A and B are shown apart, each in its own frame.
Chain A
């Protein structure tokens, strides 16, 4: 099922059709259910009439009691062995009858968020490097860019939520285990330090600005990489099997997009050149890592390899790299790298959906 549906759910249509209908002494609202929750939890502390306490009604079983040959009292060791027989082996022995797993429901907001997050992370890195090498003006610009890039991120994330009004629940707990939780916290922290850094810059607290920039960059190292880890830590075969290289690939594109965006805006010659090197290296990294990953995961990569956005992203990267190596095209390669970064993320998300829908692939992955 696709992510979200417009309009009222069918049962609400049914219910509304009967609105206003009354009957003496009785509620005649039809019982057609409500979504998203288990109906009516109430603790009264009272007993349930005609039910045996402590799950007594479920006692084994009413049906297959000792007067049947349902189960022998003692199991031999063959039980684990039987399961191993059925579940073992590298090949799927039968035709798969799916569906196996659910694909992600994320729509365009998520890859765009991944993109801007990566861009922001890359920019934060650029700002530290600029500071380090004395281009403080460039650093300030990079910090502004990082802030500018990260500002729409929460909006994108909120827009993607099923219940946007509950965005703050993201900060209800701090869950190290969950990349989504860590990512949300990281985004908050990153936004805070990035805002602080820019504010300090603007107010003239140079040192504070730089320090905040360093902190932002440190957070950026996670912001730029966790998105890949987030995908890899799911059951979607394409992502899960890419667990080693997916985050590095995302880091590459993050760095390239950060560098590319900065390069388009920076004025200092050396900085621009350095950024040119960086985006080249980063994109080159992506162009090297991606095929390695694709080969590593074999046929699971097919939905990705066949995805138009993926092909486009690769071509954009290749042409950009070629132009850059040939020292042609001026700012065109940077634009291409930015496009490639965005397309890469779109491709990975969309291909992931296809991958999860491929029951054979899911079954195969689980066998190996």
Chain B
């Protein structure tokens, strides 16, 4: 194998050698380079937890004026110590994903396209429908005459990426309404 001896020798020569380094060094540095720094310096940080698998990696969320700038691992977390897997590393893109919904989409029965719907209207409509489903399918007693106070008119299927607080309210509200078919990913 050949070694770059001629180059090395050239570089050791008095004048020519210096010339071999022309164009390198400080003259080449650009303004952008000289002002390089991480874009998260000085930003607000919030401690969070990765939403993907159940490992529970700590995340640091850097934001500037209410906009998401960066999500990376939390070095303090004894579980992940700053590391993240590819999904966790992509979680900024999860939040800022193409196709992220910001408006309600409504599809009327038999409809062929989505329509827009105002949030408050949608909430009212949904409440109406849950109430109707409860009323229409209310069972006071089962066929053997035992008290069951329930409705099988509507169901819930939740992902296991919901917060415990959210699951708690879901279970609490729907159970109070008499719903039984409350399920989640744990079985899927």
Q: Is there direct touching of A and B in the complex, by C-beta distance under 8 Å?
A: yes
Given A32-B98, A52-B75, A368-B1: A45 and B41 within 8 A (CB)?
yes
Of the listed stretches A18-26, A92-100, A341-349, chain B binds: A18-26
Within 8 A of B (CB), among A295-310: none
Given A26-B67, A175-B24: A51 and B42 within 8 A (CB)?
no
Nearest residue (CB) in B for A90 is B1
Is the pair B98, A14 in contact by a Cβ cutoff of 8 Å? Answer: yes
Chain A CB within 8 A of B121 CB: no
Of the listed stretches A117-125, A128-136, A176-184, A278-286, chain B binds: A176-184
Count class of interface residues, chain A: 35 or more
Is the pair B24, A177 in contact by a Cβ cutoff of 8 Å? Answer: yes
| Bound CA span A29–B103, Å | 15
Given A25-B66, A177-B20, A178-B23: A30 and B98 within 8 A (CB)?
yes
Is the pair A49, B44 in contact by a Cβ cutoff of 8 Å? Answer: yes
Nearest residue (CB) in B for A14 is B98
Q: Which residues of B contact A41 (CB under 8 A)?
A: 32-33, 35-37, 39
Is the pair A173, B43 in contact by a Cβ cutoff of 8 Å? Answer: no
Nearest residue (CB) in A for B47 is A50
Q: Chain B, 89-122, contact with A by CB distance < 8 Å: what is the 0/1 string?
A: 0001100111110110000000000000000000
Q: Which residues of B contact A172 (CB under 8 A)?
A: 28
| Bound CA span A27–B63, Å | 12
Chain A CB within 8 A of B160 CB: no
Is the pair A175, B22 in contact by a Cβ cutoff of 8 Å? Answer: yes
Is the pair B39, A31 in contact by a Cβ cutoff of 8 Å? Answer: no
| Bound CA span A176–B15, Å | 12
Nearest residue (CB) in A for B72 is A51
Is the pair A44, B42 in contact by a Cβ cutoff of 8 Å? Answer: yes
Given A17-B98, A50-B76: A43 and B27 within 8 A (CB)?
no
Nearest residue (CB) in A for B74 is A50
Is the pair A49, B45 in contact by a Cβ cutoff of 8 Å? Answer: yes
Chain B CB within 8 A of A288 CB: no
Is the pair B37, A173 in contact by a Cβ cutoff of 8 Å? Answer: no
Which one of B28, B32, B44, B66 lies within 8 Å of A173 (CB-CB)? Answer: B28
Q: Which residues of A contact B28 (CB under 8 A)?
A: 172-173
Q: Which residues of A contact B103 (CB under 8 A)?
A: 23
Which one of B19, B32, B42, B96 lies within 8 Å of A47 (CB-CB)? Answer: B42
Q: Which residues of B contact A177 (CB under 8 A)?
A: 20-24
**Max chain B CB contacts within 10 Å: which of A15, A17, A46, A48?**
A48
Residues in chain A within 8 A of chain B (CB atoms)? 14-15, 17-18, 21, 23, 25-32, 39-52, 57, 62-63, 172-178, 181, 366-368
What 6 A-B pairs are tightest by C-beta distance, nearest first? A175-B23, A46-B42, A43-B37, A31-B96, A30-B98, A49-B45
A-B CB contact pairs (8 Å), 7 listed? A18-B98, A49-B44, A50-B47, A57-B82, A173-B22, A177-B21, A368-B1
